[in-house]
A and B are shown apart, each in its own frame.
Chain A
Amino acid sequence: MSQFVIKASNLNRNFGDLKAIQALDLEVEKGRIYGFLGPNGCGKTTAIRLLTGLLKPSSGEVQVLGFKLPQDAEKLRLHIGYMTQKFSLYDNLTVIENLQFVARIYGLSGRLQRKRIDELLDIYGLGQQKNQMAESMSGGQKQRLALAAATLHKPELLFLDEPTSAVDPENRREFWEQLFDLSDQGTSILVSTHYMDEAERCHKLAILEEGIKRADGSPEELMQQMDAHVVEIASSNLRQLKQELLTLSDVISAAQLGSRLRVLIKKSISDPLAFLSQQRIISSTNHLSQVRPSLEDVFVTCTGESKL
């Protein structure tokens, strides 16, 4: 097999007139964590469903772990794990019953099954809850159970659709530790998210908007190659300043962060500080400084969410 676990080219999927995925090219390297970053409805779930063989593409080529989709979808199933966006295990079964169910579906029985389930309960800290009904568990516990179930058969490739949407920041950190452990053991992971901090942890990521991939690369690359300068302005009348700046065509966006205004200015302006100082609204008392771009800046620059 090549170094790529996922290869898609010119992938399209329509729902009636709606183009949910348009001309998506994708290459995911083995053993890496690849992120899909994008707002609600941008097509993250649809893309994952296409890559798992749950949906048939309207056109385009997909190869996952060397299997051609959708023809070989059935053969692929043994090798992938999929954690759905919505909890899809059984609410009226206990933790252990859910895991037993999944284990049997993957052909694990007897001593091997018990051993694997104990291992998972231990890894994901579910030992205490093992006889608790899934529906009565907290969001974070459910999500750990779902991850345990998705990784039970030690898949080579793991799809996680917004796995941390119901999880607090601390649990999210812990969750990501577990993802890195899996990645370390050789599992390739594709994860979708709309959290910037989460996207920043991925080895590589693609920014999706309205079914179109706007950019991809490692977070560092994306930040370096970003098509804008970032300037922070400290001032007292930030709301008014923001309104004024947004009327300028070379200003991509301006967002208030506490007592500072973070302004994105087009790369075509060679000296952004000088450019801003020339503006009537900027007085000499305002403090301007050019700062390093963040992933959020990248996101704002390459999606249409400018001029907010």
Chain B
Amino acid sequence: MKAPLRIYAILSKEFTQLKRDRMTFGMIVMIPLIQLMLFGYAINTNVRHIPVGVVDQSETALSRVLLQTISATQVIRFTEHYNNVQQAEKAIARAEVRAVLVIPKDVSQRLVRHQTVGLGSPPSSDEETSRPIAQWVVDGSDTMIAAAIKSLRSMPLSELQNRPANRQTPTFEVTLLYNPEQRSAVNIVPGLVAIILTMTMIMFTSAAIVREREQGNLEMLITTPVRSIELMLGKIIPYLFIGALQVTIILGLGNVIFNVPIIGGLWQLIAATLLFIFASLTLGLVISTIATNQLQSMQMTIFVLLPSILLSGFVFPYEGMPEVAQYIAETLPATHFVRLIRGVVLRDVEIIDMTFDVSWLALFTLAGLVIASLRFKKNLD
């Protein structure tokens, strides 16, 4: 029974080296901490206070009330006045403002006839009466901002005339089961666990074997009786602990600072996370057996990291992606983990019920270990 001792030899060596590497050790703690702060505060998909301009051609009291009503929605913030539309469009090009509201001269007449004001006149097909009361000119390059302003298209204007709102019965009733206040952080913090683990876990192990090769230790190592699989296991076990530490930091602080609830059971969370850490670590090992220097291993890590960020469902909903992108996403461990951890943390899902994602991560790990062990030849050819 020498195998466990050999694995222990490798892993305790890794721990000692890691302990000496203050910078790396610091980054293990600082990466999740700082990224959590950045993403938690900065990423906000509920767009607010977009700076916009106005071209008021009517200059009436009514137009001023109209502006106040729109400001009150908090979606936009009027920062500039322009004299004409050409000036306004230039300002948009300069990115001084993201949109401009053009209020026509006849705004009062238009408003009176407008149906949202609810004067009781029946909906008209007449060109004259169905005209909108004003026009938004929007910088459409950012779809998120454009969508936010589009949402203003049919805002009720009843207050303008001090009349009670002409309440319409919605076609559908929507009940938000989770995250009822629709806070971005609730969705982002668990996803962030996936991204940070992808980054650190793959990065650490992708350098693991390449570094030994670069520093000449490999020649000594492969003349010893240590087996490939023992070397691989010894290399990944220390990082399990580091991954666990990072998850604790992100979810713990996410809970304290951003009030992200942790609804699911702790064991579920641990199991899901371990599965994903294993998958990422073995992916790193495979990279490490392919790369011939640390720069290459870094580049390959980024090659995996970018799609993991963009396609895993962390940034864009999986369902909205084209089919090809969905297939690519399915191959990435991060995609499966984003589903699992959002399920466990936000919706109290038992991971057993997410068989597909669980078995996919398990198989990925197994395949990774086998491939890495097979690829790692104990010779210098």
Q: Which residues in A have some Cβ–Cβ distance to B below 8 Å?
A: 49, 52-56, 70, 73-74, 77-78, 80, 82, 84, 86-93, 97, 100-102, 104-107, 109, 149
Contact = CB atoms under 8 A, between A and B. Distances in A.
Given A92-B17, A93-B13, A104-B5, A54 B216 contact: no
A53 B225 contact: no
Contacts of B23: none
Given A89-B217, A90-B17, A90-B217, A105 B224 contact: yes
Minimum-distance CB pairs A-B, first 9 = A104-B9, A88-B220, A107-B2, A82-B223, A77-B225, A105-B224, A86-B216, A88-B216, A54-B380
Contact of A74 (B6, B16, B219, B378): B378
Contacts of A106: 224-225
B9 A105 contact: yes
A91 B380 CA distance: 21
B156 to A, nearest CB: 68
Contacts, number: 77
Given A105-B226, A107-B2, A92 B20 contact: yes
A91 B211 CA distance: 12
Given A54-B219, A106-B225, A97 B16 contact: yes
B91 to A, nearest CB: 58
Nearest to A79: B225
A73 B378 contact: yes
Interface string B355-381: 000000000000000000000001111
Contacts of A74: 225, 378
Contacts of B381: 55-56
A88 B216 CA distance: 5
B144 to A, nearest CB: 47
A106 B226 CA distance: 8
A84 B17 contact: no
Contacts of B16: 93, 97
What is the interface residue range for chain B against chain A? 20 to 34
Contacts of B225: 74, 77-78, 105-107
Interface string B5-37: 110111011001100110000000000000000
Nearest to B7: A104
A104 B220 contact: no
A56 B222 CA distance: 14
Contacts of B86: none
B220 A82 contact: yes
Among A54, A100, A102, max chain B CB count under 10 A is at A54
A74 B222 CA distance: 9
Contacts of B5: 104, 107, 109
Interface in B183-229: 215-226
Given A55-B380, A93-B16, A97-B16, 19 more contacts: A54-B219, A54-B223, A54-B379, A54-B380, A55-B379, A73-B379, A82-B223, A86-B216, A87-B216, A88-B216, A88-B218, A89-B217, A90-B13, A90-B217, A93-B13, A93-B17, A104-B5, A104-B6, A149-B220
A92 to B, nearest CB: 5
Contacts of A53: 223, 379
A105 B6 contact: yes
Nearest to A159: B223
Contacts of A86: 216, 219
Among A74, A93, A100, A106, max chain B CB count under 10 A is at A106
A70 B378 CA distance: 11
B215 A91 contact: yes
A224 B103 CA distance: 112
A84 B379 contact: no
Contacts of B17: 90, 92-93
Contacts of A52: 223
Given A56-B379, A91-B215, A92-B17, A101 B9 contact: yes
